[in-house]
Structure 1
Amino acid sequence: MSFVAAWVSDLKARTQFLNTWVAEAIPAVFWISGFYFPQAFLTGTLQNYARKHVVSIDTINFAFKVLAQPPPKRPSDGCCIRGLFLEGARWNPQIGFLDESNPKELYTDMPVIWLIPEENHKKPSGVYECPVYKTLTRAGTLSTTGHSTNYVLAIEVPSREAEPHWIKRGVALICALDY
């Protein structure tokens, strides 16, 4: 698929996602890859939590839960996201942990992840702090907002292996594979 064809296909999917959101209601699961600037969406999620619970936004960060099934309705706090691809590893639903890639498998779909706002969040043990990038390039520059043009956030993915194991493999979550 050419760059332009991939771009047009992605644009159609984005407009369909947003039109469905407008026509039907706030979705139970958000297509994170469909946002041009997902960092703003994530910040908005934290702001909504801070307002609802009357806490300082500076004390809130996300905890994460990989879901076996998409939820039938949206959670009361936080958001569920979809549309991420794992590079360098795969999610193993049988054991509920990050696992080695299967042979000849470059990218795998990541299940829905619930981003749960949490006050004074501490990184739990038994997780890999997996970076999320918009594109496969894994490089970006700082924009005028102070955010990277490519890096989105780090998601704590349950793992039986220590973090250096996955770091050596270059494991990351990617929003878009086409371009």
Structure 2
Amino acid sequence: MQAYPSLKPLSSWVMDLLQRINFLQGWISDGIPAVFWISGFFFPQAFLTGTMQNFARRSVLSIDTVGFDFQVMKESVEELKERPDMGCYIHGLFLEGARWDGQAGQLIESRPKELYTEMAVIWMVPVPNRKPPPSGVYVCPIYKTLTRAGTLSTTGHSTNYVIAVELPTDRTQRHWIKRGVALICALDY
């Protein structure tokens, strides 16, 4: 049997499968959603590449010159009714090793005994000739499952790795790396 990567027990896996089917059925029935459930995709990298391709075609640019900028939204999924003009809104990620402070708009320490927290909606904004910010961000990897390993793909990345997003912080990269902070598409329960 072939399926998307998951560490869930069977009952949770079936519930997750039904949620994925409902997400895709809603897309078919109601049109393109304002916010995409990134965890619901079998291969989220292809969706993100498609987002960049749409921008590159509309802007008449080479896709090789386009990168993502990231903006964490204050609005919830329910409040975001319209799609952005450029890029896409994504949700469904969980932070491991830290939490998002919506008031301060940055990463902060986890509460005691809090392993995972829900991440706010992220706006993936395609930008031509993007230069990464010099400081004030943590380059946070997104993984499909809690297992931060997989077979190496042709890109040299793990098949479990999706993309890295830049999250605002007042701490150093090293601080969050030591805590193993990452965004996860699907938990194991």
TM-score bucket (shorter structure): over 0.9
Change (3 A) 1:22 1:147: farther
**2:122 is aligned with 1:116:** no
* 138-147 or 97-106, which deviates more: 138-147
Q: Among 52, 61, 68, which residue is 1:55 paired with?
A: 61
Unaligned runs of 5+ in 1: none
**2:16 is aligned with 1:7:** no
Change (3 A) 1:39 1:14: same
Give the letter aligned to residue 98 of structure 2: A
Give the letter aligned to residue 175 of structure 1: C
Distance between the aligned counterparts of 1:145 and 1:10, measured in 2? 28
* 43-52 or 122-131, which deviates more: 122-131
**2:94 is aligned with 1:88:** no
Match of 2:132, SS state, is coil
Change (3 A) 1:142 1:73: same
**2:161 is aligned with 1:158:** no
Residue deviations 1:108-161, cap 9 Å, x none?
A: 000000000001111113110000000000101124676632000000000010
Give the letter aligned to residue 140 of structure 1: G
- Look up the match of 2:5: none
Distance between the aligned counterparts of 1:129 and 1:147, measured in 2? 15
CA RMSD of aligned residues (A): 1.6
Match of 1:86, SS state, is strand
Identity of aligned residues (%): 65
Unaligned runs of 5+ in 2: 1-7
Distance between the aligned counterparts of 1:144 and 1:118, measured in 2? 25
- Look up the match of 1:17: 23
Distance between the aligned counterparts of 1:42 and 1:3, measured in 2? 28
Moved over 6 A (4+): none
- Look up the match of 2:75: 69
Distance between the aligned counterparts of 1:113 and 1:156, measured in 2? 10
Aligned length: 179
Residue deviations 1:24-53, cap 9 Å, x none?
A: 010000000000100000000000000000
Distance between the aligned counterparts of 2:43 and 2:183, measured in 1? 16
Give the letter aligned to residue 43 of structure 1: T
